[in-house]
Chain A
Amino acid sequence: MLMTDAPVLEISAEDALASQVTRELPGWNPEIDDVLVCRQVRDETHDVRTFVFSAREPRLFRYKPGQFITLDLPIGGQVINRCYTISSAPTRGHLISITVKRVPGGVVSNWLHDTLKPGMELRAVGPLGDFTTIDHPAPKFLFLSGGSGITPLMSMARTYHDLAQDRDIVFVHSARSPADIIFRTELDLMARNLPRFSTAYVCETTDTERAWSGFRGRLTLPMLRLIAPDLEERTVFTCGPAPYMAAVRAMLAEAGFDMRRYHEESFDFAALAEAQPDAAAASAVVPVPPPAAVARTFRVEFAKTGRVIECDAGTSILSAARMAGMRLPSSCTKGLCGTCKSKLVAGTVDMKHGGGIRQREIDAGQVLLCCSKPTSDVVVDR
């Protein structure tokens, strides 16, 4: 046999692997192990990729399924922060992964797809977030996901699957076409392994699969009642683009659903992290065109700066403004801190604040832009 350097390297790699699976690993400490090394890039669909990371040293990642991490991405000479929900499950703690859809013209998603390769390192902060079934246990769940909003729900489903927790879960995913269904084979596998785990796919177009037997069109309440006849008994977790979630909320309201058992994850926080043009799209692409009523777009005029932007009924004015490149004072983006409080000179909005504004101020025409979605053309005194 000819001995070269190669087998020697192989042996040492195997040793490293042995130590990872046979020794007790320290837990991931995000404060110290704040650099993640890309280990693998997987193609999920034609335009969705999963990026798999480990810490520099072998670590066991601990997080609640549904949480997100924030990555520092060195793009174009500056560092851009972007939040991504974790698509992997903590039951497979050696690695952590995010799953990202490529968006035409999207700076961040294209950078990830084109640039991030195994061996590269990124700084990360997290995990954060309270969108998790762990904190809201229930006997029956209904997971509603749209596009790449599937990731946190996938993390939860994978966790129940890996722990052989036969939980009653109905997993509904809306995609543009069958070819756009992310994690389809794995979802089907989980449905085979777990007796009370079922899936339903809703596709707007089905050209990519002639024998499509799932639902066609967009998610509707009658469709939802077919998929989950015991809808009222379930605890609902929803993640997807804002218009998708707005449509879901409208359906549940119509069904008289008890919204105390409703949880949703907004990707707005990613959109608001900075005013990057593809901010919203990077995290949650919109594969399902929202219903016409939700998709209405309004004109938002900023009186002081003279800027005019468009904002659809499912997007907060602050979010739309930032996506248009405006820098308005804001901080929490949850309607808590009131930093974005502004005078509404004309028009009407739908505002769901978190205590950052008083009724008296609302009566006096003030609104919080971070949690106000237009319901007509509006003029804001900013």
Chain B
Amino acid sequence: MSTMVASSLESLLRRRKPGYSLEAPFYTSGEIFEADLDIIFRRHWIYVGVEPDVPEPGDCMVVDIGTASVIIARDDDMGLRAFHNVCRHRGARLVLDEKTTVGNIVCRYHQWTYGLDGSLLFAEHMGPGFDTACHGLKKVHLRNVAGLIFICLAAEPPADIEDMARDLEPYIAPHDITNTKVVQQIDLVEEGNWKLTMENNRECYHCSVNHPELTIPLFAYGFGYAPDEVDDVGREQIARYDGLVRDLEARCEARGIGAREIDHLDDRVTGYRAQRLPIDQHGESQTMNTQVACKKLLGGLNDAKLGGLSVWTQPNSWHHFMSDHIVTFSVLPLSPERTLLRTKWLVHKDAVEGVDYDLRNLISVWAATNNQDGELVGYAQSGARSPAYEPGPYSVHTEMLVEKFTNWYVGRMSAHNAARAAGDGAR
């Protein structure tokens, strides 16, 4: 980052008005996008996938974060490891497919061969003075949080991932991600800055009008409302919703399953939030008929009516855990105005398609919702490009989580700039 860009970014960050959306360059500028990659995506824990993405020894998954490409591999002791997807010979990309199975990791270019521990096992024609020990794969930090895989490209990753892991595990563990399988993955490219994808996710202000499928199981009011504007019907729904929340919390607490809201979205380096939300009608799952989409429940669960555990992490993920299936979302920036939304649907590993679940039914709500959200993000992006755009106010009743996302982002960027400035001063 040039000093000029840094100072203009710094002044943009400093004059950010709390409670308002960000100024246009945050959504359009190539320089700020590079700063986002550098500061947010290369120095924080990034959610990239789930344990069953690489279920068996030798299974590899490749995730690209900006210009970085990372291999996540299952080793022979069932451990998970992450490496830069760069051959130590002349830098060629090692694993070319997003998902594959390898014996060892072998570069197709000149067959340099690495073990699943990253050590260089074989390199032909390098002569006697060549030290294989100096040419192992570069490691990337990996933290498995109850089956959710986070990686960090920094040399020293934020240590507070341990707080997140400790808090989230009691919520997520009952859904036993380890014993699930990914039955569907959809990569959707949204025509907007990654922050707009995240902001769109952090509110349901837009839900009732735009998400006819999602609002069957989900209560838009669950994400807040302006109390003065609610009519009698609305009040009735809210009262019912509050009753469902109390009922769900009691039901879950009796089973030792995490349900109550915990929120550290903007007071930690590694921000997160979790809450188990009631589901309407049958109360079982985020499906068109609110009943479970998969007959085989997850983990040792014996009650289908556990609502949906929503987990949010900064900067790039959200997740829905139901009794029968899990939907998990990873947001990866592609360019200033393009973003990859990677969605995976998971069911019990022993569930049989066509017998225990119907794939179309399983994915229908979120496949539709994602497409609708993708359009909305595109509209927001084209608006941010307009000369008439100026930051607008977030609703204090329904957009608190958007504010927390933006607040976290501005805080992290500012903290980094401050640390950098302190470092410059010392030099």
Contacts and interface: CB of A to CB of B under 8 A. Distances in A.
A134 interface: no
Contacts of A332: 111, 113, 121-122, 124
A125 B103 contact: no
A354 B114 CA distance: 12
A30 interface: yes
Contacts of B121: 332, 336-337, 354-355
A356 B113 contact: yes
Nearest to A69: B128
Contacts of B58: 358, 360
Interface residues of B, number: 17
A306 to B, nearest CB: 27
B102 interface: yes
Interface string B108-141: 0001010100000110100111000000000000
A361 B101 contact: yes
A337 B129 contact: no
Given A337-B113, A358-B103, A126 B122 contact: no
Contact of B115 (A125, A331, A339, A355): A355
A149 interface: no
A113 interface: no
A281 B115 CA distance: 33
Contacts of B101: 358, 360-361
A31 B127 contact: yes
Contacts of B115: 355
Contacts of A354: 121
B57 A358 contact: yes
Q: How large is the interface on A (under 10, 10 to 19, 20 to 34, 35 or more residues)?
A: 20 to 34
B56 interface: yes
A30 B106 CA distance: 28
Interface string A103-146: 00000000000000000000001111000000000000000000
Contact of A338 (B57, B103, B124): B103
Interface string A322-344: 00000000011010111100000
B111 A337 contact: yes
B111 A357 contact: no
A341 to B, nearest CB: 8
A338 B106 contact: yes
B128 A331 contact: no
Interface string B10-37: 0000000000000000000000000000
B417 interface: no
Contacts of B104: 336-338, 355-356
A353 interface: yes
Interface of A: 30-31, 125-128, 331-332, 334, 336-339, 353-358, 360-361
Report, nearest first, the 4 A-B pairs whose CB atoms are least far apart. Answer: A331-B111, A337-B113, A356-B103, A332-B122
15 contacts: A31-B127, A127-B128, A331-B122, A332-B113, A332-B122, A337-B111, A337-B113, A337-B122, A338-B103, A338-B113, A355-B115, A356-B104, A357-B103, A360-B58, A361-B103
